[in-house]
Amino acid sequence: MNWKPHTFALAGLAMISTPITAQAKIYVSIEQAQKILFPNQPLTKAPIVITDDLQDKLRAASSIRHPFQGERIWKTANGGWLIVDEVVGKHEMITYAVGISPNGSIAGIEILEYVESYGYEVAEAQWRKQFTGKTAKDPIKLNQDIQNIGGATLSCKHLTDGVKRVSVLYELALKEK
């Protein structure tokens, strides 16, 4: 171990000369997520129209309020599915991909982007609005370096709700296709 602390850290002082604000992290593209979740399997785009009725059911099942967008859905030749969705919380926005195996089980979950909006000054709807509705062709251009951020554990509960919504979507709209 080679640890070179700044002197203030050893003194236990929270001196911040230039505070760095926690930022967006971009991990993988949709294309990379497809290769991770369905290696060597070609995927075809299979968007669906989300009716009001289906939207209501998804909302009821997952307690996620913002509408599901049906255009980011792909399928494999043998009945697997890949769905890209977002969770937009008070404190974060997460774009993620869920792979569903032909038997309906979840094959994997991959985070595409994590945008932290922690802090009361940036949690405003106005700030968040700039990220909603972005597509893969329109990546958020923020710091693309992966910072090594330590700290208290972040909960992934919101994302769990999002995955629930995708599972319900599969049950209601994709399974029989």
Partner 1 sequence: MKARCQPLLGTFVEIAIEQENCQNAMDQAYEAIQQVQDLMSFHDSLSELNQINQNAHLHPIEIHPWTAQIFKMAQDIYQHSNGLFNCGIGHRLVEAGLLPRQLDLSQYPLGGIQDIHFLGSSVIYATKPVCLDLGGIAKGFAVDKAVEVLMQNGTLSGCVNAGGDLRVFGHTPRVIQIRHPKSPGKLIDIGTLQNGAIATSALYFANRDRKHSHIVNPLALDTNDIHVNFEESYSIVANECVYADALTKVLALSKRQDHPCFDYFNAQAITIAA
Q: Which residues bind partner 1 (CB under 8 A)?
A: 1-6, 9-10, 12-14, 16, 19-22, 25, 27-28, 35-36, 39, 91, 96, 108-111, 114, 116, 118-119, 122, 145-157, 159-160, 163
Burial class (CB in 10 A: 0-12, 13-18, 19+), 156: middle
CB of residue 105 vs partner 1: minimum separation in angstroms?
A: 14
Which is nearer to partner 1, 57 or 158 (by Cβ)? 158
CB of residue 96 vs partner 1: minimum separation in angstroms?
A: 8
Sign of CA dihedral 144, 45, 79, 174: positive
Cα(114)–Cα(87) distance, integer angstroms: 10
CB of residue 111 vs partner 1: minimum separation in angstroms?
A: 4
Which is nearer to partner 1, 45 or 157 (by Cβ)? 157
Q: 52-62 and 157-169 are packed helices; what angle lies between their axes, rounded to 10 degrees?
A: 140
